[in-house]
Amino acid sequence: MARAKPTWLAVIVCVIAVIVPGLIVGAAASFVFRMFAGRERAPDPFGLNMFFGIDAISKILSLIFYVGMSAWVHGAIAGAVAAGLTRVICRGANILKAASITGALYTGLMVLVLLLSLSVPSNTSDSVATVFQLVGLWCGLISVAATAPQLEAST
């Protein structure tokens, strides 16, 4: 019987898998998503821009659908690839715990980056993309890790 690998090794593998293969595959998927989504005119659901010249709602929808969704795809694919690689490499480790720790590490890093970006004037779409990518990363990590078989508590 194979010995279970420790969770700390699974965390290290998962963090490295998010950085190297995960973000590369996620970037390719995000590129394909942007290619099919296009960069059309921002939607004007209530006719506010057409009738009154108010384009705030269409700019918000443009940020959500064109910037945010492609960043979410990028993060979700990166998280799924990282959790899948961790599941294959570290058989027997607690993959759900490793994915949660990896997500917490990236959340702390992104909160730090967002707080530092408040001190300099920056583009709003970068902050939106960061938040959506982090949410996508959590979705990818947890969705794959939750399907991994968990270890039984030994008595």
Summarised one tens digit per residue, pLDDT across range 94-119 is: 889 999 999 999 999 999 988 887 78
Q: Rounded to two decimals, what is the model's pTM?
A: 0.80
Closest CA to 100 of 151, 130, 137: 137
Q: Where are the alpha helices (DSSP H) in 38-68?
A: 48-52, 56-62
3-state secondary structure of 15: helix
> In this structure, are residues 18 and 82 in contact, taking their beta carbons and an 8 Å threshold?
yes
**How much of the chain exceeds pLDDT 70, in percent?**
80
Name residues whose C-beta falls within 8 Å of residue 55's C-beta, 6 or more positions apart in sequence. Answer: 42, 44, 48, 49
Cβ neighbours, 10 Å, residue 29: 18
